[in-house]
Amino acid sequence: MRPHVITAAADSVAAQFVGVSTFAQRLRQTVVHAAPLTIPVHITGPSGAGKEVVAELLHSLSRRTGAFVAVNAASIPTDLVESILCGHARGAFTGASDRTNGVVEDARGGTLFLDEIASASRATQGALLRILDGRPYRPVGGGPERQPSCRIVSASNESLADAVREGVFRRDLYYRLVGVELALIPLRDRRDDIGPIADVLLARAAAASGYQRRLSAAARQRLEHEPWPGNVRQLRWVIERAVAFAKRDEIKEVDLGLRDAPEPAPVSPHPLAAQLAEHGFDVRRLAAHHGVHPATVYRWLEAEGIEAPRRSAARRGRQ
C-alpha cells in the first residue's frame, strides 16, 4: 500500500463521533444533513481533534457504495502528482512494473479524503482542480479515459481563506472545496466530551488487548482536567498506554503517566516576539509548539502589536 494513502471501510468503528456537549450534538446534526449531499465538505480544526473521524462519519452516513480513501495531500511528491491521483500504466516510468489505479479510481463511488490540503503543492492543487471540475482523466502512460465519481472531503488545521489571501492556495480551488465547512474545536473547549470519549477509547483498547480495565474516579477526574494540547489523539495514546501497563483492572491516576500537575491551557506567550524568533518566524511551528491553531497565534501577534510574518520560505519552497 502506498505509504501516504489509507483506506477504511464505511462501517469502521473509528467513524463514530463521540460526545455529549452542545458542540458535539450540533456537529452530528450538521454531518447528518451534509452526508447525503454530493457537494464537497471542508473540515477545519487543530491537529488530533478528529477531522478524519468526522470525514469517515460523513462517508458512512452517505450510503455511498465505494471506499473511503484518505490521502495526505501535503506529502504527495510534485513529480508523482498525476500518478498518485490518476494512476499509471505499466512501464509509464522507471519502477512502474504494474498498472496501478490512482486514489481517484480507488475512491470511485465513495469518498476521497484530502488531509492537510492547505499545504498541498501547486501541482497537486492544479490536478485536484481538474478532478473537481469533473473532467475525464487518463492514467500516466496511457489507458482509457475515466470519469471521476468520488465525493471530495478535505481537511486542514489552518484557514484556507488565509492561504488564499497569502497567495499560496488557489482561489478557484478554494471555492470548489468549501461547499460545506465544518469547524472542530480543541478537546479542552468541550470538556463534557472527555469522559465519554475516554470510555469508548478504553473499551476499544481493552477489547484489543484482552484485558479487563476500568477507570478509577481519580483517573477520570484527572483526564477531565487535562489541557490536552494533542486533543483526542493524545487522549487515545494515554488510554492505550494505561491499558497496557496498569498493574490491576482498575486504572489509577498514576497509571495514566501524566505529569504531577495538569498544565494550564495555553495563553498568550510573553515575550511573543522572542518565541517567534526561536521558531524561525514560522507561525505554524509556534502554533504546533503551543498546541493551538495558527489563527490563534496570529491573534496573539495582533494583540501585542507585532507584525505577523508571512508564511515561511521553507513552505513556499515546497510549491
**Model confidence over 197-220: pLDDT tens digits?**
999 999 999 999 999 999 999 999
At residue 95, the pLDDT reads: 61
The candidate with the shortest Cα–Cα distance to 40, out of 139, 147, 117, is: 117
Residue listed under C-alpha cell 490563534: 296
At residue 11, the pLDDT reads: 33
At residue 112, the pLDDT reads: 95
Q: Which residues of the chain have pLDDT under 50?
A: 1-15, 261-270, 311-319
First to last CA, the chain: 26
Cell reading at 271: 515575550
H/E run at residue 178: none
Whether the pTM exceeds 0.85: the reply is no
Number of Cα atoms under 13 Å in the Cβ half of residue 266: 23
At residue 235, the pLDDT reads: 95
- Name beta bridge partners: 111: 68, 151
Evaluate whether 53 touches 200 at the Cβ level (below 8 Å).
no
Evaluate whether 139 touches 127 at the Cβ level (below 8 Å).
no
At residue 133, the pLDDT reads: 86
Q: Return all residues near 114 (Cβ < 8 A) that are at least 6 apart.
A: 71, 73, 120, 128, 152, 153, 154, 155
Cell reading at 309: 510574518
The Cα 147–Cα 110 span in angstroms is 13
How long, in residues, is the chain?
Answer: 319
**Model confidence over 159-182: pLDDT tens digits?**
899 889 888 999 999 999 999 999
